[in-house]
Amino acid sequence: MADSNQDYDSYEQYIYNRDVYDQIKRYIGDEYYSFPDTILGGETENREFITLDCLRLSKYLNNFYSKGNCKKQNCCQYINYILNQTVRRDYDSKKDIFDIYNDYMNHENNSMIKNLCLTEINYMNQEKYNKIHELYNEYNNCKYYISIKDNIRSCNPVESCANAYNRIMTKYTKPNDTKSCKNLKDLKDYLERNEPTSTGDCKWKFSDLLSYPSECNELLQKPEKPDVSMVQTNGRLVVQREVKGATPQEQREGTPGVGVPGVGVPGYGTGVEGSSTLKDTQSYAEDINSKTPNDNTTIPVGTITYTSLGLVLPLVTLYKVKKIYLKSFTFL
């Protein structure tokens, strides 16, 4: 699928989220009477049903307690799919009904669910909805197999799930998309961990039936590219990083005090003596600046490198520099 990496659930996320929603959707209780009627505005025809939709939305999201738990299961995208499905099935695809769901989440009493998911609850275009809906139908084929795998009487459920897997592989998996490749690999591994119990009626095995694209395999095996390159020169580690706005000569030599250790510092040695964290280096710098230097003071020179996103990489190398008083640190 060409959508955002978070637009749809993996198989196991889908099964988890579906089970949670199925458990809570029938039990609203007294919450119905506390629903803020102002949310419904001028809607009169479907007030009761829309109220129930909103309360299920709230109860489902509150089940996750924290943003971390919700993100782990991709819970926002599942409920977004459910709301889009509900509007299409029950309200003739009326977007103004979907807007009521957003208004409810944005209500002052719903800060928890607002912070969890409000920005991810959106009315889908029909093409996007159809893709996700069809993908989840394929998941359901395998869910049915899992529910009866220990008591199957024929190969039909196994075949149905294997065919669903193959359709997911050919229709929804993109060889240059890490998320879809990983989802397919996870589904394959999951099914192979849940092989059918061998009987006289069916001896098929997923390990024999399921294939996996070589392009995806190569993509998942590629290591992530580091933000900086490390080059060992004359026994010391040098961090190479492009400095924007620098001349070619500056790029080769580095900016004094930044990027390349020791550049512009007289008496700089070649041995790497130790390392520390950025926090320790800063604290040490404040401490030594408050003292009078002497000829035997050992001063650490911190090397601080920024990524292209403006984040400080914790790459700080300490070097011994004898008889040098560090007057200032330069941070880029």
pLDDT score of 210 more than 90 = yes
What pLDDT is stored for residue 42 in this prediction?
81
Residues 330, 304: Cα–Cα separation, whole Å: 9
Give the C-alpha distances (Å, rounded to integers) separating 68 from 6, 8, 14, 65, 228. Answer: 14, 17, 17, 9, 29
> Is the Cβ–Cβ distance between 125 and 84 less than 8 Å?
no
- 163-172 long-range contacts (CB < 8 A, ≥24 apart) are 164/138, 164/139, 165/138, 165/191, 165/210, 166/210, 166/211, 167/138, 168/135, 168/138, 169/211, 169/212, 169/213, 171/134, 172/1, 172/131, 172/135
What pLDDT is stored for residue 200 in this prediction?
65
What pLDDT is stored for residue 6 in this prediction?
64
Domain boundaries of the chain, sorted by first residue = 11-124, 128-221, 229-322
List, for residues 97-152, the tens digit of each pLDDT value. Answer: 999 999 999 999 898 999 999 999 999 999 999 999 999 999 999 999 999 988 88
Q: What percent of the chain has pLDDT over 70?
A: 64
What pLDDT is stored for residue 224 in this prediction?
57
What pLDDT is stored for residue 145 in this prediction?
95
pLDDT score of 239 more than 60 = no
pLDDT score of 282 more than 90 = no
What pLDDT is stored for residue 88 in this prediction?
97
Average pLDDT over residues 223-251: 45
Higher pLDDT, 309 or 138: 138
Average pLDDT over residues 89-99: 95
What pLDDT is stored for residue 281 in this prediction?
40
List, for residues 146-175, the tens digit of each pLDDT value. Answer: 999 888 888 999 999 999 999 999 998 888
pLDDT band at 202 (very low <50, low <70, confident <90, very high): confident
Mean pLDDT (the chain, rounded): 74
pLDDT score of 39 more than 70 = yes
Residues 190, 170: Cα–Cα separation, whole Å: 19
Q: What is the pTM of this model?
A: 0.65
What pLDDT is stored for residue 74 in this prediction?
95
What pLDDT is stored for residue 60 in this prediction?
96
Residues pairing with 258 in the sheet: 255
